[in-house]
Amino acid sequence: MIHVLIVEDDFRVAEINAAFVSQDPNFEVLGIAHSAALGYEMITDLKPDLVLLDLYLPDEHGLELFAKIQQLPRGSKPYVFIITAAKDSQSLKDAIQLGAASYIVKPFHGHELIERLRTYRNALVRLNQSIEVSQSEVDATVAMMRGAKASEFMEGTSSNPTTASIVRCLQENSTAMSASEISNVLRISRATAQRYLSQMADRKTVVLELQYGNAGRPVNKYRLAE
Protein backbone atom coordinates (compact mmCIF):
# COMPACT_ATOMS: atom_id res chain seq x y z
CA MET A 1 0.00 0.00 0.00
CA ILE A 2 1.28 3.46 -0.96
CA HIS A 3 0.26 6.18 1.50
CA VAL A 4 -0.47 9.61 0.05
CA LEU A 5 -0.74 13.06 1.58
CA ILE A 6 -2.41 15.88 -0.36
CA VAL A 7 -1.22 19.46 0.25
CA GLU A 8 -3.66 21.74 -1.57
CA ASP A 9 -5.25 25.02 -0.46
CA ASP A 10 -8.39 24.63 -2.59
CA PHE A 11 -10.78 22.43 -0.58
CA ARG A 12 -12.72 21.26 -3.63
CA VAL A 13 -9.61 20.42 -5.68
CA ALA A 14 -8.12 18.56 -2.72
CA GLU A 15 -11.24 16.40 -2.36
CA ILE A 16 -11.33 15.69 -6.10
CA ASN A 17 -7.67 14.64 -6.10
CA ALA A 18 -8.28 12.44 -3.07
CA ALA A 19 -11.14 10.75 -4.92
CA PHE A 20 -8.90 10.07 -7.92
CA VAL A 21 -6.18 8.58 -5.72
CA SER A 22 -8.70 6.37 -3.94
CA GLN A 23 -9.81 4.82 -7.24
CA ASP A 24 -6.69 2.65 -7.16
CA PRO A 25 -6.75 0.13 -4.28
CA ASN A 26 -2.95 0.26 -4.08
CA PHE A 27 -3.08 3.85 -2.80
CA GLU A 28 -4.48 5.24 0.44
CA VAL A 29 -4.98 8.93 1.26
CA LEU A 30 -3.64 9.60 4.76
CA GLY A 31 -4.98 13.13 4.90
CA ILE A 32 -5.29 16.58 3.36
CA ALA A 33 -3.44 19.74 4.39
CA HIS A 34 -4.54 23.16 3.22
CA SER A 35 -1.38 25.00 4.22
CA ALA A 36 2.37 24.47 4.04
CA ALA A 37 2.75 24.49 7.82
CA LEU A 38 0.13 21.79 8.33
CA GLY A 39 1.51 19.87 5.38
CA TYR A 40 5.00 19.74 6.89
CA GLU A 41 3.59 18.72 10.26
CA MET A 42 1.59 15.88 8.70
CA ILE A 43 4.56 14.75 6.63
CA THR A 44 6.78 14.42 9.70
CA ASP A 45 4.02 12.79 11.78
CA LEU A 46 2.35 10.49 9.25
CA LYS A 47 5.41 9.76 7.07
CA PRO A 48 3.57 9.35 3.74
CA ASP A 49 5.21 7.63 0.79
CA LEU A 50 4.00 10.26 -1.67
CA VAL A 51 2.94 13.91 -1.41
CA LEU A 52 0.73 15.64 -3.99
CA LEU A 53 1.92 19.21 -3.57
CA ASP A 54 0.35 22.42 -4.80
CA LEU A 55 2.68 25.42 -5.20
CA TYR A 56 0.31 28.28 -4.40
CA LEU A 57 -0.28 27.80 -0.68
CA PRO A 58 -1.58 30.55 1.62
CA ASP A 59 1.35 30.67 4.05
CA GLU A 60 4.35 29.57 1.98
CA HIS A 61 5.25 28.70 -1.59
CA GLY A 62 5.09 24.99 -2.25
CA LEU A 63 8.69 24.88 -3.45
CA GLU A 64 9.81 26.23 -0.08
CA LEU A 65 7.98 23.36 1.58
CA PHE A 66 9.54 20.97 -0.92
CA ALA A 67 13.01 22.23 0.03
CA LYS A 68 12.23 21.52 3.70
CA ILE A 69 11.07 18.02 2.80
CA GLN A 70 14.41 17.40 1.12
CA GLN A 71 16.17 18.19 4.40
CA LEU A 72 14.47 15.29 6.17
CA PRO A 73 16.65 12.28 7.06
CA ARG A 74 17.43 9.75 4.36
CA GLY A 75 14.75 7.10 4.18
CA SER A 76 12.03 9.35 5.59
CA LYS A 77 11.61 11.69 2.61
CA PRO A 78 8.45 11.08 0.56
CA TYR A 79 8.33 11.29 -3.21
CA VAL A 80 6.63 14.45 -4.42
CA PHE A 81 4.22 15.08 -7.28
CA ILE A 82 3.86 18.78 -8.02
CA ILE A 83 0.26 19.59 -9.01
CA THR A 84 -0.08 23.26 -9.85
CA ALA A 85 -1.38 25.95 -12.16
CA ALA A 86 2.17 27.34 -12.42
CA LYS A 87 3.31 27.10 -16.03
CA ASP A 88 6.48 29.21 -15.79
CA SER A 89 9.71 27.45 -16.69
CA GLN A 90 11.44 28.58 -13.50
CA SER A 91 8.97 26.71 -11.29
CA LEU A 92 9.49 23.62 -13.41
CA LYS A 93 13.28 23.94 -13.25
CA ASP A 94 13.20 24.44 -9.49
CA ALA A 95 10.91 21.43 -9.04
CA ILE A 96 13.21 19.25 -11.13
CA GLN A 97 16.27 20.41 -9.19
CA LEU A 98 14.55 19.54 -5.93
CA GLY A 99 13.74 16.06 -7.27
CA ALA A 100 10.05 16.13 -8.15
CA ALA A 101 8.84 12.72 -9.28
CA SER A 102 6.22 14.37 -11.49
CA TYR A 103 4.93 17.82 -12.47
CA ILE A 104 1.27 18.06 -13.45
CA VAL A 105 -0.21 21.33 -14.68
CA LYS A 106 -3.78 22.26 -13.79
CA PRO A 107 -6.33 21.76 -15.15
CA PHE A 108 -5.87 18.10 -16.00
CA HIS A 109 -8.02 15.04 -16.56
CA GLY A 110 -8.40 12.63 -13.68
CA HIS A 111 -7.19 9.69 -15.74
CA GLU A 112 -3.88 11.50 -16.22
CA LEU A 113 -3.24 11.60 -12.47
CA ILE A 114 -4.31 7.98 -12.10
CA GLU A 115 -1.95 6.93 -14.90
CA ARG A 116 0.94 8.85 -13.30
CA LEU A 117 0.25 7.19 -9.97
CA ARG A 118 0.21 3.73 -11.52
CA THR A 119 3.42 4.21 -13.46
CA TYR A 120 5.02 5.59 -10.30
CA ARG A 121 3.93 2.46 -8.43
CA ASN A 122 5.31 0.26 -11.21
CA ALA A 123 8.64 2.04 -10.88
CA LEU A 124 8.70 1.29 -7.15
CA VAL A 125 7.94 -2.35 -7.85
CA ARG A 126 10.88 -2.49 -10.28
CA LEU A 127 13.18 -0.97 -7.67
CA ASN A 128 12.04 -3.38 -4.96
CA GLN A 129 12.61 -6.37 -7.23
CA SER A 130 16.14 -5.39 -8.28
CA ILE A 131 19.40 -5.65 -6.38
CA GLU A 132 21.57 -4.47 -9.25
CA VAL A 133 20.35 -2.63 -12.34
CA SER A 134 21.68 -2.06 -15.85
CA GLN A 135 21.78 1.37 -17.46
CA SER A 136 18.66 0.65 -19.51
CA GLU A 137 16.80 -0.35 -16.33
CA VAL A 138 18.01 2.84 -14.61
CA ASP A 139 16.73 4.95 -17.52
CA ALA A 140 13.40 3.14 -17.59
CA THR A 141 12.85 3.38 -13.84
CA VAL A 142 13.66 7.10 -13.75
CA ALA A 143 11.34 7.63 -16.73
CA MET A 144 8.53 5.76 -15.01
CA MET A 145 9.08 7.65 -11.78
CA ARG A 146 8.62 10.86 -13.76
CA GLY A 147 5.23 9.60 -14.87
CA ALA A 148 5.94 8.05 -18.27
CA LYS A 149 5.29 4.53 -19.41
CA ALA A 150 8.46 2.47 -19.40
CA SER A 151 7.91 1.39 -23.00
CA GLU A 152 8.21 5.01 -24.13
CA PHE A 153 11.73 5.26 -22.73
CA MET A 154 13.18 1.76 -22.84
CA GLU A 155 14.86 1.35 -26.19
CA GLY A 156 15.26 -2.36 -25.54
CA THR A 157 11.54 -3.14 -25.53
CA SER A 158 9.76 -4.64 -28.50
CA SER A 159 7.22 -1.80 -28.54
CA ASN A 160 9.94 0.63 -29.62
CA PRO A 161 9.92 1.00 -33.46
CA THR A 162 13.70 0.75 -33.84
CA THR A 163 13.85 -2.30 -31.61
CA ALA A 164 11.06 -3.92 -33.61
CA SER A 165 13.00 -3.23 -36.82
CA ILE A 166 16.14 -4.85 -35.38
CA VAL A 167 14.12 -7.89 -34.31
CA ARG A 168 12.69 -8.24 -37.84
CA CYS A 169 16.16 -7.85 -39.33
CA LEU A 170 17.54 -10.65 -37.16
CA GLN A 171 14.52 -12.83 -37.89
CA GLU A 172 15.06 -12.47 -41.63
CA ASN A 173 18.77 -13.27 -41.42
CA SER A 174 19.88 -16.87 -40.95
CA THR A 175 23.10 -15.97 -39.12
CA ALA A 176 24.08 -13.64 -36.30
CA MET A 177 24.66 -10.03 -37.33
CA SER A 178 26.96 -7.26 -36.17
CA ALA A 179 25.90 -3.70 -35.34
CA SER A 180 27.52 -2.53 -38.60
CA GLU A 181 25.57 -5.05 -40.66
CA ILE A 182 22.30 -4.11 -38.99
CA SER A 183 22.98 -0.39 -39.41
CA ASN A 184 23.55 -0.91 -43.16
CA VAL A 185 20.30 -2.82 -43.57
CA LEU A 186 18.18 -0.42 -41.50
CA ARG A 187 20.02 2.75 -42.60
CA ILE A 188 20.70 3.90 -39.06
CA SER A 189 24.04 4.83 -37.54
CA ARG A 190 26.28 2.08 -36.20
CA ALA A 191 26.31 3.78 -32.78
CA THR A 192 22.52 3.72 -32.63
CA ALA A 193 22.39 0.07 -33.64
CA GLN A 194 25.03 -0.81 -31.04
CA ARG A 195 23.18 1.06 -28.29
CA TYR A 196 19.90 -0.72 -29.03
CA LEU A 197 21.60 -4.11 -29.30
CA SER A 198 23.41 -3.63 -25.98
CA GLN A 199 20.15 -2.80 -24.25
CA MET A 200 18.40 -5.73 -25.90
CA ALA A 201 21.25 -7.96 -24.69
CA ASP A 202 20.77 -6.63 -21.14
CA ARG A 203 17.13 -7.66 -21.36
CA LYS A 204 18.08 -11.01 -22.92
CA THR A 205 16.11 -10.26 -26.09
CA VAL A 206 19.22 -11.03 -28.11
CA VAL A 207 22.31 -13.16 -27.47
CA LEU A 208 25.82 -11.79 -27.97
CA GLU A 209 28.30 -14.01 -29.80
CA LEU A 210 32.00 -13.33 -30.37
CA GLN A 211 33.23 -14.25 -33.84
CA TYR A 212 36.88 -13.99 -34.90
CA GLY A 213 37.86 -12.71 -38.33
CA ASN A 214 41.05 -13.06 -40.33
CA ALA A 215 42.84 -10.39 -38.30
CA GLY A 216 42.13 -12.30 -35.10
CA ARG A 217 40.02 -9.53 -33.65
CA PRO A 218 36.66 -10.58 -32.18
CA VAL A 219 33.49 -9.11 -33.68
CA ASN A 220 30.33 -8.75 -31.60
CA LYS A 221 27.45 -10.44 -33.38
CA TYR A 222 23.89 -10.82 -32.21
CA ARG A 223 21.10 -13.31 -32.71
CA LEU A 224 17.61 -13.47 -31.28
CA ALA A 225 17.31 -15.33 -28.00
CA GLU A 226 15.43 -18.61 -28.25
Q: What is the rounded distance in angstroms from the CA atom of residue 83 to the CA atom of residue 56?
A: 10
Coil, strand or helix: which one is 8? coil
Contacts of 84 (CB under 8 A, 6+ apart): 53, 54, 55, 56, 62, 91, 103, 104, 105, 106
Domain positions in the chain: 2-133, 161-224
Nearest to 59 by CA among 80, 77, 33: 33
Task: Tell me which CATH code domain 2-133 carries.
Answer: 3.40.50.2300
Least Cα distance to 223 among 206, 205, 199 occurs for 206
> Is CATH 3.30.200.210 the classification given to domain 161-224?
no
Could you list the pLDDT tens digit for every one of the 226 residues in the chain?
Answer: 999 999 999 999 999 999 999 988 999 999 999 999 999 999 999 999 999 999 999 999 999 999 999 999 988 899 999 998 888 889 888 988 898 888 888 888 888 888 888 888 877 777 776 656 666 666 666 666 655 544 444 445 555 678 888 888 888 888 899 999 999 988 888 888 888 888 888 777 888 888 776 656 778 899 888 7
